[in-house]
Amino acid sequence: MATKLEISKSLLSPPGDTIQEHIEFIGMSQAELAERMGRPKEKLNDIIKGREPISTATAFQLEKVLGIPAGFWMNREKTYRKELYELQQQEELEKKKDWLGAFPVNDMRKYGWLPDTKEKHVLVDSLLKFFCVASAHEWERVYIDEEVSVAFRVSLAHTQNPHAISAWLRNGEIQSKEIEIAVFDKKKFKDALSDIKELAFSMPEDYTLQLQNICAKCGVAVVFTQNLPKAPISGATRWFHNKPIIQLSGRYRTNDHFWFTFFHEAAHIILHGKKDIFLENVEGTEIDRVKEEEANEFAAKILLKENELQEIIDAAPLTEEMIYDFAKKFRTPAGVIIGRLQHLKLIPFSIGNRFRQKIDLFN
């Protein structure tokens, strides 16, 4: 049984059909038409069968011989070639089902990254447009090929699910284009971190919007992107089209993890180069451990200075009430202090967890 695609191709009519219909109507043969146009019979037959396109010169020859305007033939040819190309593309897209199946398509549709359809050729076409690549082969070269990869200056070849990770990163780029930002100013951004720390402490309802606005004024795009299955990334930092991007997922859904991740990513922008990309919690990518430690140390000191931490330590044994008072004194989220003390094994993991605020960036 013929497929919809096969039926569509069989119904597609080349401009030559119209030529043949017209010369039959006026009683002219292909041989006579070829003679009057000064074209070999074989070439004219190729045009009538759609094997050869109607050129501008041919269109004007037909106008002179048949009395039908050249514009008609050129438009007929243009429409036919467009429809033929679209059907050929559909055939090619149908062959890319395996490539499509490697992506978390259902979630990408749910989040609105892809159209809500189950037609595979439409989804493949939309996926190529999403990534701004001409074919699945180009996606492979951009995101996987270790020698050719240019998108993030890092290959995703050794990650567990490069398809999902690339989709998450790409959506962050798309989101960043929707944010109007100033020219990047490193000093201004660094100075703004004290205001952002205060924002972390106060946690108003619109903290995400305020965070984006503060950073945008400094030339940094902050975007929030839902995690995809098999792409459990908590954050990423990179420069895209000369714009620094901090991309956050809110993966752990607590304020201490969220703010530490933000300041960690901010450190990469302030301390490290434009050619680097940093992906948090992604196994299989090359990790610069020195730069990661620098970013960790930077974030820790922003949230709680060393002398502040020492003052807390010196006050041991600590109670939850004391920790809460220190949080107000140092304008640092209590959950951050709890997490720091637990990490240093100064308090057990059973103490203070109620101070961690639950967050959900997407509800």
> What is the pLDDT at residue 1?
55
> What is the pLDDT at residue 176?
96
> What is the pLDDT at residue 168?
95
pLDDT band at 86; cut points 50, 70, 90: confident
Give me the chain's average pLDDT, please: 90
> What is the pLDDT at residue 298?
96
Count of Cβ atoms closer than 10 Å to residue 153 Cβ: 12
CB 236 within 8 A of CB 340: no
> What is the pLDDT at residue 91?
74
Please tell me the distance from the alpha carbon of residue 126 to that of residue 110, in angstroms, as a whole number. 14
Span 222-279, pLDDT tens digits: 999 999 988 889 999 999 988 999 999 989 899 999 999 999 999 999 999 888 888 8
Span 122-132, pLDDT tens digits: 899 899 999 99
The distance of Cα 168 from the centroid of its chain, to the nearest Å, equals 6
> What is the pLDDT at residue 167?
95
10 Å CB burial of residue 191 (0-12, 13-18, 19+) is exposed
Kindly report which listed range (103-107, 136-140, 245-249) carries the lowest average pLDDT score.
136-140
pLDDT band at 158; cut points 50, 70, 90: confident
Span 333-357, pLDDT tens digits: 999 999 889 888 888 888 888 888 9
The two tokens of residue 162 are 């490069």
> What is the pLDDT at residue 159?
82
CB 44 within 8 A of CB 50: no
- Residue of higher predicted confidence among 90 and 215: 215
Span 278-323, pLDDT tens digits: 888 777 777 888 999 999 999 999 999 999 999 999 998 888 899 9
Kindly report which listed range (46-55, 168-177, 285-294, 321-330) carries the lowest average pLDDT score.
285-294
Residue 10 clears pLDDT 90, i.e. is over it: no
Residue with tokens 């749910």: 110
Please tell me the distance from the alpha carbon of residue 167 to that of residue 127, in angstroms, as a whole number. 9
> What is the pLDDT at residue 146?
63
> What is the pLDDT at residue 267?
97
The two tokens of residue 131 are 């990534």
- Residue of higher predicted confidence among 93 and 247: 247
Q: If residue 5 lies in a helix (H) or strand (E), which one and from where to where?
A: helix 4-11
> What is the pLDDT at residue 319?
86
> What is the pLDDT at residue 274?
86
CB 185 within 8 A of CB 219: yes
- Non-local (6+) Cβ contacts of 200 within 8 A are 207, 255, 259, 303, 332, 333, 336
> What is the pLDDT at residue 143?
86
Identify the bridge partners of residue 228 per DSSP, sorted by sequence position.
Answer: 231
> What is the pLDDT at residue 223?
98
Q: What are phi and psi of 78, to 5 degrees?
A: -60, -45
* DSSP string covering 125-142: HHHHHHHT-SSHHHHHHH
Average pLDDT (100-125) is: 92
> What is the pLDDT at residue 5?
65
Share above pLDDT 90 across residues of the chain, in percent, rounded to a whole number:
67
Please tell me the distance from the alpha carbon of residue 177 to that of residue 56, in angstroms, as a whole number. 41
Average pLDDT (125-150) is: 83
Please tell me the distance from the alpha carbon of residue 37 to that of residue 30, in angstroms, as a whole number. 10
pLDDT band at 149; cut points 50, 70, 90: low
Average pLDDT (145-163) is: 69
Please tell me the distance from the alpha carbon of residue 265 to that of residue 237, in angstroms, as a whole number. 6
> What is the pLDDT at residue 112?
95
Third-level CATH fold of 4-94: 434 Repressor (Amino-terminal Domain) (1.10.260)
- Non-local (6+) Cβ contacts of 136 within 8 A are 96, 99, 124, 128
First vs last C-alpha separation in the chain: 48
With b meaning 16 or more CB within 10 Å and e meaning fewer, what string describes 256-283?
A: bbbbbbbbbbbbbbbebeeebbbbbebe
CA dist list (Å): 271 to 164, 187, 263, 268, 293: 29, 11, 12, 5, 12
pLDDT band at 105; cut points 50, 70, 90: very high
